[in-house]
Structure 1
Amino acid sequence: MDIPTLLSTHLPDLKSYEALYKKLHEHPGLSLQEHLAAETAAKHLQSLSGFDVRTNIGGTGLIGILKGEKEGDGKTILLRADTDALPVEELTGLEYASKKREVDVEDGVEKPVMHACGHDMHVACMLAAATTLHSSRSEWSGTLIILFQPNEERAGGAKAMIADGLYTKHACPLPDIVLGQHVMPFPASTVGTKIGSFASAADSFKVTVYGRGGHASQPHRTIDPVIIAAHIVVRLQTVVSREVDPREAAVVTVGSVQAGQTENIISSEALLKINVRTVTPETRDRVLGAIKRIVKAECEASGSPKEPLWEPTSQFPFTTNDKATTEHVSSAFSSFFKDKFDPEAQPLGGSEDFPILATEVPHKDGKGKGVPYCYWTFGGVDPAKFEDAKQRGKLQEEVPINHSAYFAPVIQPTMKTGVEALVVGALSFLGR
């Protein structure tokens, strides 16, 4: 089977998928509330004869299972797309920009909602890829699993699908290989991956530090938790600069500090929300240990009346691409995308719960669990605009990144590249 010929023959007209993308972008759903994306994906897969569609897995998660019709021993391949949006007010000015607000089921607060990370593009690409692979099923053997995962942004979706019995109660065929991708602020039409570490682990938690409240005119009779929190925030900036090997990557962010209600009352407590990104287990342990040491010491130094309260909020695993699987995918991508493919791509700055769908696969012999996986990126920025900003040294200022209120992939050639990558990746393993 010649993959370029297959794609030229079976790739659908992408105009309808562009319209689908715009609809999803205009009507996003927060984590745990991805109803439109899930309904759209299920309806589309159900319209393709032969797809066995199973819904409501770990929330709005779903899978579609398709058997190849060609004789042979093709593998079982799982392709994953995430579906949730973010609590961000969109500022792109696009005609299909989101103006949606909805109450977040996690905290009951109404928030603006935007697909600021490109998951709407992931859904559209996956549905077009599913259509392509369905149309060409007579030319490959094996089993294809199309999986749409909710709640990636809060690191809960993959865990929820596993906990709900993805591979047991819902009888998803056990994959031999798990594949996934993410649109990034790189030139559209480019694709990249690499062997080994490809996305950081992320640990998020809330820390409440305690003081003794009172009147702002009598600070000597209080213990000010705002001062404690301020010292913690400043001191935490030394963890990476002074305790992490400069050759290692790590980020410590205090994304939120909350204390008190008005200016003339010293509060009795302050809340810090902290996020940590690391790329090796050793650095992860060192950084988390340093944070706990610093928080404890600053509380003691200020005479805090009780120990700080630690509350984990989310945890993303390391994304470490399997060597043999990534070499296999890289070979196929290099052949298809030519010089638009980078086999030593820059790793993601963010984190993913994607690996859980592979590491929690039960072994077919019932002994142990875990199968190989490969994750890659594809670009979503107009190539001419990207190059112009790069030449002027303005990439940081003029090319919006994921989670920005201005993040909006150029629809083409982003979508076509994302579809091609999924199809090429899958077909490189399906028997032919």
Structure 2
Amino acid sequence: MSIDDLYRDLHSHPELSFEETRTAGIAAAELRAAGFDVIEGIGVTGVAGVLRNGEGPTVLLRADMDALPVVEDTGLSYSSIVPGVMHACGHDVHVACLIGAARELAVTREDWSGTVVALFQPAEEVGGGAQKMLDDGLYEKVPVPDVVLGQHVGPVTAGMVGAHAGAAFASADSIDVTVSGRGGHGSRPETTIDPIVIAAAIVGRLQSIVSREIAPQDTAVLSVGRLSAGTKNNIIPEIAEIGLSIRAYSEEVRQRILAAIERIVRAESAASGAPDPTIEYAESFPVTVNDPVATERTMTVFRALFGDAAVIDPGQVSGSEDVGLLATAANAPLVYWILGGAHPESYRVAATAGTVDRDIPSNHSPRFAPDIQPTLDRGVAALVAAAREWLRS
């Protein structure tokens, strides 16, 4: 099957985090067909293929596999056939490109020496996949890499690639706050402690953290994505729930935000005489840090192969990734780059009009639909070129 057709098949059959059994089976079969030694079921559904080709470094190429609980609205002939699930973040692109790269590296073994590890990771979207594979003894099952390489498709012109050295993707934390009160009849608020009023005060006060507690030269995001309470208009409820998401590019800023959230939530509850609130930490992603030396080495190869105009520095991305855990656990440099997937002419028109944010669907949008070509060919070529740079020729 061609990489284009493989991609269409993957896009039509998305699977949620830790449920990627079909995708994992396809990856394993493709790796075996290419001559890789294959280990399945790492961290629930993860797959790793190892291709040993003489003496030399070990290079790990990583692709994530999971989809999102999104209803697709692309109108594509190969749209998702799974109700309420969609490859809205492009992980189908990542899988198809890594399979293409594995095929190419396998048939050109005379051009390189060393070991290639092709890693298909589950559950990136919930921040647990990479750690789950590590906890399951990943580096006891495959050789420890000398470098970790990977890419993420995004709403940049198809054919473009590029990485930002240093802190490249933000850390992310999801926090669930439950504010407790004392419920009662809406006609007698004096007998209650209203958790809705407390929650409203918390939401308002949280907006001051980034603007008043984080230095202007630092970057951070705090969003309230969920606020829920009550069942009926004339009932003051017992609890209110707040769902928070924060992003930062340094651990110092991240810790400052987390401490401020806890302080504000507890203080507003105390000010109303309410019971102690509950603060629970859910998904968490570390800052993704590209090794500067390794990044420049890899981008130099890309510039030589694709041309200077096709290689960009995308700057710091406010999205988050867990690929860095694979590099940290191996004490190896990470190079993780952006792969453009937007239709070139559509992007040019939107950029000229200043409407890219409106007219070019971003990751996680129900209309996110990377251009199959040249996206896939460029993604395969980038993985192969980066791997060969780090392998012995």
TM bucket (normalised to shorter chain) is over 0.9
- Mapped partners of 1:347, 1:411: distance in 2: 25
**Aligned pair partner of 2:191 in 221, 245, 263:** 221
Does structure 1 residue 430 correspond to structure 2 residue 388?
no
Does structure 1 residue 338 correspond to structure 2 residue 299?
no
Whether the aligned pair in 1 keeps the contact of 2:262 and 2:279 (CA below 8 Å) is: no
Q: Secondary structure at the match of 1:185?
A: strand
Does structure 1 residue 61 correspond to structure 2 residue 31?
no
Q: CA deviation at 1:341?
A: 3.8
- The equivalent of 1:105 in structure 2 is none
Q: CA deviation at 1:273?
A: 1.3
**Aligned pair partner of 2:245 in 275, 291, 305:** 275
- Mapped partners of 2:4, 2:22: distance in 1: 16
**Aligned pair partner of 1:200 in 170, 191, 198:** 170
Does structure 1 residue 149 correspond to structure 2 residue 138?
no
Does structure 1 residue 16 correspond to structure 2 residue 16?
no
- The equivalent of 1:96 in structure 2 is 78
- The equivalent of 1:131 in structure 2 is 103
**Aligned pair partner of 2:289 in 283, 301, 320:** 320
- Mapped partners of 2:170, 2:59: distance in 1: 24
| CA offset digits 1:143-202 (Å, max 9, x no partner) | 00000000001110000000001112xx21111111111001000000011221101111
Task: Please tell me the residue identity of whatever aligns with 1:124.
Answer: A
Task: Please tell me the residue identity of whatever aligns with 2:334.
Answer: Y
- Mapped partners of 2:355, 2:294: distance in 1: 36
**Aligned pair partner of 2:352 in 383, 388, 391:** 391
**Aligned pair partner of 2:180 in 191, 201, 210:** 210
Q: CA deviation at 1:343?
A: 5.2
Q: Secondary structure at the match of 1:64?
A: strand
Task: Please tell me the residue identity of whatever aligns with 2:285.
Answer: F
- Mapped partners of 1:224, 1:341: distance in 2: 56
- Mapped partners of 2:306, 2:189: distance in 1: 66
| CA offset digits 1:116-149 (Å, max 9, x no partner) | 1000110001100110101101221000000000
Whether the aligned pair in 2 keeps the contact of 1:186 and 1:379 (CA below 8 Å) is: yes
Q: CA deviation at 1:55?
A: 0.2
Structure 2 matches for 1:176-195, cutoff 5 A? 176-195=146-165
- Which is helix-richer, 1 or 2? 2
Q: Secondary structure at the match of 1:360?
A: helix
Q: Which sits farther off after the overlay, 203-212 or 146-155?
A: 203-212
Measured on the aligned residues, the alpha-carbon RMSD in Å equals: 1.3
Task: Please tell me the residue identity of whatever aligns with 2:17.
Answer: S
Whether the aligned pair in 1 keeps the contact of 2:70 and 2:86 (CA below 8 Å) is: yes
- The equivalent of 1:109 in structure 2 is none
Structure 1 gap ranges (5+): 1-14, 102-111, 362-369
- Mapped partners of 1:394, 1:323: distance in 2: 32
Whether the aligned pair in 1 keeps the contact of 2:61 and 2:383 (CA below 8 Å) is: yes
| CA offset digits 1:26-51 (Å, max 9, x no partner) | 110111111121111011111123x1
Does structure 1 residue 289 correspond to structure 2 residue 275?
no
Q: CA deviation at 1:260?
A: 2.1
Q: CA deviation at 1:345?
A: 2.5
Whether the aligned pair in 2 keeps the contact of 1:212 and 1:224 (CA below 8 Å) is: yes
Q: Secondary structure at the match of 2:144?
A: coil
- The equivalent of 1:242 in structure 2 is 212
Q: Which sits farther off after the overlay, 89-98 or 153-162?
A: 89-98
- The equivalent of 2:370 in structure 1 is 409
Does structure 1 residue 301 correspond to structure 2 residue 271?
yes
| CA offset digits 1:353-401 (Å, max 9, x no partner) | 001111112xxxxxxxx11111111101011110101111111111111
Q: Which sits farther off after the overlay, 216-225 or 33-42?
A: 216-225
Amino-acid identity (%): 48
Structure 2 matches for 1:159-170, cutoff 5 A? 159-168=131-140
Task: Please tell me the residue identity of whatever aligns with 1:221.
Answer: T
**Aligned pair partner of 1:29 in 15, 19, 44:** 15
TM-score w.r.t. length of structure 1:
0.89
Whether the aligned pair in 1 keeps the contact of 2:183 and 2:192 (CA below 8 Å) is: yes
- Mapped partners of 1:230, 1:408: distance in 2: 37
- The equivalent of 2:60 in structure 1 is 78
Q: Secondary structure at the match of 1:23?
A: helix
Q: CA deviation at 1:303?
A: 1.9
Q: CA deviation at 1:264?
A: 2.5
Q: Secondary structure at the match of 2:338?
A: strand
- Mapped partners of 2:186, 2:176: distance in 1: 26
Whether the aligned pair in 2 keeps the contact of 1:191 and 1:340 (CA below 8 Å) is: no
